[in-house]
Amino acid sequence: MSFERIAIIGLGLLGGSIGLAVREYLPGAQTTGYDADPAVRTRAAERKLADRICDSAADAVREADLVIFCVPVGAMGAAAAEIAGALPKNALVSDVGSSKQTVARELAEALPGQTIIPAHPVAGTEHSGPDAGFASLFQQRWCIITPPKGADGALVDRLGAFWEALGARVEVMDPEHHDLVLAVTSHLPHLIAYTIVGTASDLEDVTQGEVIKYSAGGFRDFTRIAASDPIMWRDVFLSNKDAVLEMLQRFTEDLTGLQKAIRLGDGEALFDHFTRTRAIRRSIIEQGQDDARPDFGRGDH
């Protein structure tokens, strides 16, 4: 019942990790891979990110029973259109995009009549490209499957079993709710990190050298996610615009509240807020979603 011929379109961090994870954890399955960038295809072949690296997307999908799009969410529609003629009718189409409503719509438009079940493994690092992937990326991470209305339950289960084989835990959610949840747990944090790193680079009275030297005071934490792939993140913000703007509005209200407390010297309000936020980290660590070592274990190695 598991998939046997998996086509991976896009061979960056996510696509490459899927290829490596399939080889490691699903040794019976065959993978084909394609990337629009010839240099990425060359490097993908060297790293053996898929069993066969193809020179066209159509070639890669021709015999697939599962096709996974691992391209930036803004490129999903065009990538899907490229394979429309070559895709077997019974192949399941999925993806790994960070926003789901837009992607579901674009894939459906490009591949009318095809069975499409989008998914989003909540996993990654700040690195990107064909050298960034590794087989264990999905271990202990959640993969959210967002089936369209009326999707075949057995197929949803089969896709879930695929992700579980790669080490992920699986949750099913409707795409609207996914986009709201991810707006707060992923998109807003990236936007904030990109913003503060930009703010710190642009100061006239503090040099960039000083920002770098004294970054261990907290700033350096933000630079990690602000080093993530610019194209991927541009597309996420454009495609999940409404939910991101909604969360940003709430964040700004809360920030204005704390700003006012600082201006008024209201120590009690600050203390109360800062006490509340400790509990969440404890839960994240208890649930295996972050490292318990102080300072992320920096300096331990």
**25 interacts with a second copy by CB under 8 A:** no
Closest contact distance (angstroms) between CB of 231 and a second copy is: 7
In the β-sheet with 142-145, what is the strand arrangement from edge to edge? 119-121, 142-145, 169-172
Looking at residues 198 to 217 of the shown chain, list those that interact with a second copy (rule: CB under 8 A).
198-203, 205-206, 208, 210-217
Looking at residues 132 to 161 of the shown chain, list those that interact with a second copy (rule: CB under 8 A).
132, 136, 139, 141-142, 144
**123 interacts with a second copy by CB under 8 A:** yes
Amino acid, single-letter form, for residue 264 = L
Looking at residues 52 to 111 of the shown chain, list those that interact with a second copy (rule: CB under 8 A).
74, 98
Closest contact distance (angstroms) between CB of 56 and a second copy is: 27
**270 interacts with a second copy by CB under 8 A:** yes
**296 interacts with a second copy by CB under 8 A:** yes
- Cα 8 versus chain centre, distance: 15
Residues 29 and 89: their CA atoms lie apart, in Å, by 20
From candidates 47, 52, 105, 220, binder to a second copy by CB under 8 A: 220
**219 interacts with a second copy by CB under 8 A:** yes
**174 interacts with a second copy by CB under 8 A:** no
Cβ atoms of residues 163 and 170 within 8 Å: yes
**192 interacts with a second copy by CB under 8 A:** yes
How many residues contact a second copy, by CB under 8 A? 109
Instruction: State the DSSP H helix or E strand holding residue 42, giving kind and residue range, or none if neither.
Output: helix 38-47
Compare residues 49 and 60 and give the one whose CB is closer to a second copy: 49
Residue 13: Cβ-neighbour burial (10 angstroms; 0-12, 13-18, 19+): buried
Amino acid, single-letter form, for residue 132 = A
Half-sphere exposure for 218 (CA within 13 Å, toward CB): 3
Q: Which residue has the tokens 């894939």?
A: 107
From candidates 53, 110, 156, 188, binder to a second copy by CB under 8 A: 188
Instruction: State the DSSP H helix or E strand holding residue 284, giving kind and residue range, or none if neither.
Output: helix 278-286
